[in-house]
Structure 1
């Protein structure tokens, strides 16, 4: 495994500074992202690109999200130390690492077995402790519900009712919803009285959410 050197730490700091300029103000998110060595989640040939604010292909038709997108979603999620968090779409494991750095008791589920095995192996090597699940994230993960926070890192056609049901009262779901070309970020809060509050935010482009309540029909 490649090292995390003074050079890569410096490149990471430049990225964090650029995220600040783009409007990311959540200090704990920025601190967490400054600790996670993003270059280790990419092929070593891409080292010089690892800290650009761009998404990259990681195989299996999936990508490692653009750092701005990770920062945006993580800021909305606003994880507090010790909260039980469900991530739908482990992918490379980069977003999962950021959530763990923020103090999440993380459950992360991946639909693609190759990516599941690869991310689990890498995060364990990096000493990031989480609960790794192979399965259909569009259905959530009932055995460990309810969750304080749920984060979906793929574009959904609709908000899966299963995920809303698995939110604890006072919990929050962050999910991009739309078509295969563009999705709008939604922040869904389950209020203490059990009512649901939806807030529609900015537009992004994600890979499609697969599974029963995703784009697999």
Structure 2
């Protein structure tokens, strides 16, 4: 069975730094059987939001965690300090997830309300174009279609939902490659249509 990616963005009820109890719960999740790797960090554009990504060996491994005897207590403790949270999964990843997730800076681009062929006809060609250009500071990326699992405190976006992850050496390196006439600008037309809206942010992910 193929690897599964689980994505979540959270905000806190109080303060701007995660309490130790939350960090402990995330470390428990990171050490759960079936988790290949776990990444966590604040969004650079909005530090009050935190994003984490779990790489699971399979959907079955995630299901086993949800049905385990300790899950209910873990989940109650985990959500206690949260004001909002989202959970989405991706069962079919195009590319090697370790490349963007283990880069110093990871770009997240969510496309909402995407056309049926958006992933194959738009997002994948965009990724290929910028990857083939070997942009300074960019390591590579992945794409995939997301399945919404849980939205609490925020409105669930319109399906389909597609994601692009790109690995960069820094946010500044990504910003340096944006602008009129540059490679990204020349190919951005692929993803400027075929979807209703996008969400873009960067995280310097830490591996727990």
Fold shared, TM-score > 0.5 on shorter chain: no
Larger radius of gyration: 2
Bigger proportion of residues as strand:
2
TM-score using structure 1 length:
0.28
In terms of fraction of residues, the more helix-rich structure is 1
